[in-house]
Structure formats: C-alpha cells, structure tokens
C-alpha cells in the first residue's frame, strides 16, 4: 500500500525536506496589486518575491484557494495514478477555503477514480482523506513531518487518520507578527475581527512587538517587547528550554518571512540549533512561503513544536 501526503502552500517546510519525502504541494493563488501568481512553494520563486519587494507592505495582497474543480483535476492527474491511499492536510478551515474545496474535490474523485486508475495501470482501490490541520504555517509543517513518521510505521488507514487528528491538538505555536497594522488591515478585508484596532495602534505608537502563543490558531499575546529582536529572543528561549524538557515528536518547525542572511542572524537561533542537535531533534528551518507571508505579513516569524500541556512563561 503506497501512501501519499498532500499539503497546501500555507504549510511551511524546508524545500529539501519536502522533496526528500515526496510531498505533494496543493497550490494557492496569490493576487498582488492585481497580478496573479501561483504559489507552489518553489524556493527560487519564493526568493525572487522577497528580493523584488512584492511582499512588502503598501501592496494589496490576497490569497485565494484553488477551486474544487481545479483541485479535482490535480488529484485525478497526480494523486490517483500514483498512490493507493492519500492524506491531504490543509491549513485550518477557519482561515481558508482550502479544506472545503479539497473535501468537495475528494468526494468527486472517489466517485470517478476507476477509469484514471485503470489507465495508469495501478490495481486495487483508491482511498483518500482530507484533514483539517487546525494549524497555520510552521504548525502545519510540524504536523506534516509527524504524519510522515506515522506513515513509515505502516499504520492502518483509520489508525493513521485518528493519530493525525489527535496529534494536531498537541501542537503549540509561537507567532511574531512584524507589523500589526498589516495583519489587522488584511483581517479587516477578510471580515476577521480577531486583531483589534487598539492593539494595532499600540503596536505602532509604542513600537511594541507582541509574541502570540497557543495551540493551533488560538494564539494570545504572552509577551510585549520593544523590538522584533527581543521578541525573537523570547521565542528562542522558550523553544530551547522546551526541547531540553522533551517533545512529543523529534521536530521543531520554524519559518521566517526574511531573507536567508537575516534568518541566520536571528538572536538565539544557534542556541536552539545546538539544543536540537543535543536532544536528537530535527530543526525544520524554512523561509516563510508566499502564502504565509501574505497572510501574516513580511518579516514575521512562526515556530511550532508538540509537547504536553504547558504555558509559555513556564520556559522563560
């Protein structure tokens, strides 16, 4: 039984990791100042976006999920002929239509896959499951990395699905938004009132950079710092201490909406690297993808790990 894992463009993982494990990336459409781009997580294209300034504030940027019809065509062409079982993990349904559209596409695929499968010469039935990751960005990447470990364990289809859904609730995420006004304005256009105007005003007036922490997308401010570097230091302190205390999966996922030269200069990054190496943990460090950067704003940071219940301040 050959099992394939599908993620969408909101899932931040290192390109080499995705390629090594043959992840299929479900694209997302990016619309920037009226121009349309397809985000397939190509590292060269992503780097071009950062260098060109297309992701900087002042531009009107939105993301759009592929339609159910578009996703259906991709599944029929790329997934059905290649795999016996497919798991599709999407960005949280509360922030995107990817889950809804992928679910519709899955239903139509399951009703019509026989001909495509026969034409490819692949025998046996095909099954598929679309799962709401309940995560964004690095959190979604962490879930994907853990899912690959589960696939290697040769679990049954039902056991695999149940374990993935259970594990998603164990993921803790730290987010450092670089510009609160950027995400407030984008949230306003989407009808999302989770970022208040007062918080955005304070962030600008007092030069405050918050750290948001929580499970999945339910993050709350746990620290307010006077600089991005100070916020990063707090997140790195937390992650380093949590790695040393023990994790539920040997991965830490970290994505940054910065150029690689800036990422390497992040305060505390090498300390986190050393802690991961000393504790048998793989640090999945990536440049934030186009979809992620549009959503939360350029220059932002997202870190995710899985652990037993705890609070951010336990590890400061």
- At 8, which CATH number? 3.40.50.10170
DSSP code per residue over 38-105: EE---HHHHHHHHHHTTTSTTS-EEEEEPPHHHHHHHIIIIITTT-SEEEEEES-TTT-SHHHHHHHH
Closest CA to 216 of 277, 177, 264, 172: 172
For strands 24-26 and 171-176, give the pairing: unpaired
Which of 75, 171, 166 lies closest to 129 in space, CA to CA? 75
Q: For residues 289-314, give the mean pLDDT.
A: 92
| Range(s) of the domain holding residue 298 | 171-315
Residue 311 CA to residue 214 CA, distance in Å, equals: 8
Mean of per-residue pLDDT scores for the chain: 90
Same domain (yes/no): 180, 310: yes
Same domain, 149 and 187: no
Sorted by sequence, the CB contacts under 8 Å of residue 156 that are 6+ apart come out as none
Count, residues in the chain: 316
11 contacts 89 by C-beta, under 8 angstroms: yes
Does residue 183 share a domain with residue 164? no
Rounded-to-5 percentages of helix, strand, coil across the chain: 45, 25, 30
Name residue 306's beta-bridge partners.
Answer: 171
Q: Are residues 293 and 274 in the same domain?
A: yes
| 193-200 average pLDDT score | 59
User: pLDDT grade, residue 316 (50/70/90)?
Assistant: confident
**Residue 247, pLDDT above cutoff 70:** yes
Among candidate residues 104, 136, 168, the one where a domain is terminated: 168
Domain count of the fold of the chain: 2
Which residues are within 8 A (CB) of 92 and not within 5 positions of it... i.e. 6 or more apart? Answer: 99, 132, 133, 134, 135, 136, 216, 217
154 and 189 both lie in a single domain: no
Do 87 and 184 share a structural domain?
no
Q: Annotate 83-94 with three-state secondary structure.
A: CCEEEEEECCCC
pLDDT of residue 55: 67
List the one residue out of 149, 96, 95, 156 whose CA is nearest residue 129: 156
Question: Tens of pLDDT along 30-83?
Answer: 888 888 888 888 888 888 777 777 666 556 778 899 999 999 999 999 999 999
Specify the DSSP element, H or E, that contains 212: strand 209-215
pLDDT, residue 207, reads 73
The pLDDT score that the predictor gives to residue 34 is 83
CATH of the domain at 254: 3.30.1180.10
Measured distance CA(191)–CA(98) in Å, rounded: 17
pTM (whole model) above 0.85: yes
- Give the per-residue pLDDT at 295: 86
The per-residue pLDDT for range 79-137, each reduced to its tens digit, is 999 999 999 999 999 889 999 999 999 999 999 999 889 888 888 899 999 999 999 99
Task: Answer yes or no: are the C-beta atoms of 111 and 280 closer than 8 Å.
Answer: no
Q: Rounded to the nearest 5°, which phi and psi values hold at 220?
A: -130, 150
Residues 91, 44 within the same domain: yes
Same domain for 142 and 225, yes or no, is no
The pLDDT value given to residue 15: 93
Distance CA 294, CA 174 (A): 18
Residues 146 and 229 occupy one common structural domain = no
187's enclosing H/E stretch is helix 180-190
| % pLDDT > 90, the chain | 66
Does 224 lie in the same domain as 298?
A: yes
218 contacts: CB under 8 Å, gap ≥ 6:
none
Assess whether 180 and 84 both reside in one domain: no
């Amino acid at each position: 039984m050959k099992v394939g894992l599908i993620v969408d463009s909101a899932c931040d993982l290192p390109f080499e990791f995705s390629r090594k494990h043959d992840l299929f990336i479900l694209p997302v459409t990016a619309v920037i100042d009226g121009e349309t781009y397809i985000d397939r997580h190509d590292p060269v294209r992503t780097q071009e976006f950062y260098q060109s300034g297309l992701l900087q504030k002042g531009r009107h940027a939105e993301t759009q999920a592929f339609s159910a019809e578009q996703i259906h065509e991709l599944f029929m062409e790329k997934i059905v002929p290649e795999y016996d079982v497919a798991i599709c993990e999407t960005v949280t349904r509360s922030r995107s239509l990817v889950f809804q559209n992928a679910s519709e596409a899955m239903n139509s695929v399951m009703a019509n896959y026989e001909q495509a499968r026969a034409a490819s010469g692949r025998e046996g039935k095909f099954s598929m499951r679309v799962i709401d990751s309940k995560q964004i960005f690095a959190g979604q990447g962490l879930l994907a990395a853990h899912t690959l470990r589960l696939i290697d364990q040769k679990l049954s289809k039902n056991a695999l699905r149940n374990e993935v859904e259970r594990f998603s609730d164990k993921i803790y995420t730290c987010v450092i938004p670089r510009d609160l006004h950027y995400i407030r304005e984008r949230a306003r256009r989407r009808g999302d009132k989770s970022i208040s105007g007062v918080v955005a005003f304070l962030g600008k007036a007092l030069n405050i950079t918050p750290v948001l922490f929580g499970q999945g997308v339910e993050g709350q401010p746990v620290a307010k710092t006077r600089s991005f570097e100070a916020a990063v230091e707090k997140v790195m302190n937390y992650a380093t201490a949590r790695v040393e205390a023990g994790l539920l999966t040997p991965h830490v996922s970290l994505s940054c909406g910065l150029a690689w030269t800036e990422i390497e200069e992040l305060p505390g990054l090498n300390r986190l690297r050393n802690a991961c190496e000393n504790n048998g943990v793989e640090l999945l460090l990536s440049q934030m993808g186009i979809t992620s950067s549009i959503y939360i704003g350029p220059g932002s940071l997202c870190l995710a790990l899985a652990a037993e219940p705890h609070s951010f301040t336990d590890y400061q």
